[in-house]
């Protein structure tokens, strides 16, 4: 099998064995296409010809193309995953990417909303209309459970247990988690289920939140309505549905939640991903101390 064939096999592995989304798999494919371009320029056609020199040339090429450290690190991550796959499949003996230095990146702190801003956003939908009842329930549930937008719009009816106040979520890589939801969000979802969903759903439709056409909403559709309600609530920050997830994690840590518990609720496989929120929470604590302590 030539190098192009191995890349195709790796993308199939990501899609089928690891259960990654089509968007994620497509992104890996785009990143690895740059490696294939360089290999073609050097006359490399076989996987066993991938070595540290090619990896170094690949990183140099990315730098010359004007990619920042963060984008270059993402490309290197895709390459490392591919090389590990080749080792596993015995196409190469050792992983040459393991010796490559990861480009240094500054970790950006997440943008989040204050609790007052979240309250204004959640109160923005007009519950005098069916669409407003649905939108309010979606915003409340997303903030209550710290959901990704893809998790929210694809949430099955069967995943909501209003009796116990739990949500069964299937996240990235097909990983499942249970997240508690508070009484306020439960009440909003219950109102939607009683007043709106029965008018939209066909007998075979299993998705919880539906468009007026009785179909699952798109991520782009929910993004647009989030921006609309944020602007109507007077929120001037750059807004997206993911900001509610950032706010969920930040508010929990500000109020003393355990980092491991927040990691489990967010569905992060690596606690290092969750730790970034502690920087935001620490800044909040410092501001409170500075404003409140007599000798600060």
Q: Taking Cα atoms as reference points, which of 62, 102, 65, 64 lies closest to residue 80?
A: 102
Among residues 15, 177, 242, 284, the one annotated as catalytic is: 242
How far is residue 211's CA from residue 70's CA, in Å, rounded to a whole number?
36
Among residues 136, 148, 197, 243, the one annotated as catalytic is: 148
Is residue 227 packed enough to be buried (19+ CB in 10 Å), middle (13-18) or exposed (0-12)?
middle
HSE-up of residue 10 (Cα within 13 Å, Cβ side): 30
Run of H or E residues at 180: strand 176-180
Provide the pLDDT for residue 104: 56
Enumerate the domain spans of the chain.
Answer: 3-99, 115-292
Provide the pLDDT for residue 116: 94
Asked if the domains 3-99 and 115-292 are classified in one and the same CATH topology, the answer is no
Run of H or E residues at 227: helix 219-232
In degrees and rounded to multiples of 5, residue 18 shows phi and psi of: -95, -10
* CATH of the domain spanning 115-292: 1.10.443.10
Among residues 140, 245, 246, 251, the one annotated as catalytic is: 245
CATH fold of 3-99 reads DNA polymerase; domain 1 (1.10.150)
How far is residue 296's CA from residue 291's CA, in Å, rounded to a whole number?
7
Among residues 172, 177, 219, 284, the one annotated as catalytic is: 172
pLDDT tens for each residue of 27-81: 889 989 988 988 888 888 888 888 888 888 888 887 777 766 677 778 888 888 9
How far is residue 192's CA from residue 40's CA, in Å, rounded to a whole number?
56
Active site annotation includes 268: yes
**Residues 241 and 227 sit within 8 Å (Cβ to Cβ):** no
Provide the pLDDT for residue 136: 97
Provide the pLDDT for residue 109: 63
Provide the pLDDT for residue 285: 46
Sequence-distant (6+) residues with CB within 8 A of 118 are: 143, 244, 247, 251
**CB neighbours (10 Å) of residue 250?**
26
How far is residue 80's CA from residue 103's CA, in Å, rounded to a whole number?
13
**Residue spans of the chain under pLDDT 50:** 285, 288-289, 293
**Residues 245 and 147 sit within 8 Å (Cβ to Cβ):** yes
* Dihedral (CA of 268, 68, 102, 47) sign: positive
* Dihedral (CA of 274, 277, 281, 287) sign: positive
Active site annotation includes 277: yes
Alpha helices, H only, 89-233: 115-123, 130-145, 149-153, 183-195, 197-200, 219-232
Provide the pLDDT for residue 101: 66
């Amino acid at each position: 099998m030539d190098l192009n064939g191995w890349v195709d096999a790796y993308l199939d592995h990501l899609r089928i064995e690891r259960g990654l989304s089509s968007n994620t798999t497509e992104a890996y494919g785009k990143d690895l296409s740059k490696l294939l371009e360089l290999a073609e320029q050097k006359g490399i056609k076989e996987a066993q010809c991938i070595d540290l020199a090619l990896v170094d040339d690949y990183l140099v090429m990315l730098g010359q193309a004007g990619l920042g450290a963060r984008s270059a690190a993402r490309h290197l991550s895709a390459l490392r995953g591919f090389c590990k796959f080749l080792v596993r499949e015995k196409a190469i003996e050792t992983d040459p990417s393991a010796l490559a230095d990861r480009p240094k990146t500054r970790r950006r702190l997440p943008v989040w909303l204050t609790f007052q801003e979240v309250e204004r956003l959640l109160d923005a939908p007009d519950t005098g209309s069916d669409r407003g009842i649905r939108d309010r329930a979606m915003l409340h549930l997303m903030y209550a459970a710290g959901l990704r937008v893809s998790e929210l719009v694809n949430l099955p009816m069967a995943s909501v247990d209003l009796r116990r106040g739990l949500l069964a979520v299937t996240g990235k890589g097909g990983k499942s988690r249970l997240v508690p939801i508070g009484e306020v969000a439960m009440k909003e979802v219950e109102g939607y289920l009683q007043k709106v969903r029965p008018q939209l759903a066909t007998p075979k439709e299993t998705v919880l939140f539906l468009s007026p056409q009785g179909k699952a909403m798109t991520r782009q559709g929910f993004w647009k309505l989030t921006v609309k309600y944020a602007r109507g609530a007077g929120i001037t920050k750059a807004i997206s549905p993911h900001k509610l997830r950032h706010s969920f994690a930040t508010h929990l840590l500000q109020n003393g939640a355990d980092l491991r518990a927040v990691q489990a609720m967010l569905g992060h496989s690596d606690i290092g991903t969750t730790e970034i929120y502690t920087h935001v929470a620490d800044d909040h604590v410092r501001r409170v101390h500075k404003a409140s302590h007599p000798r600060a």
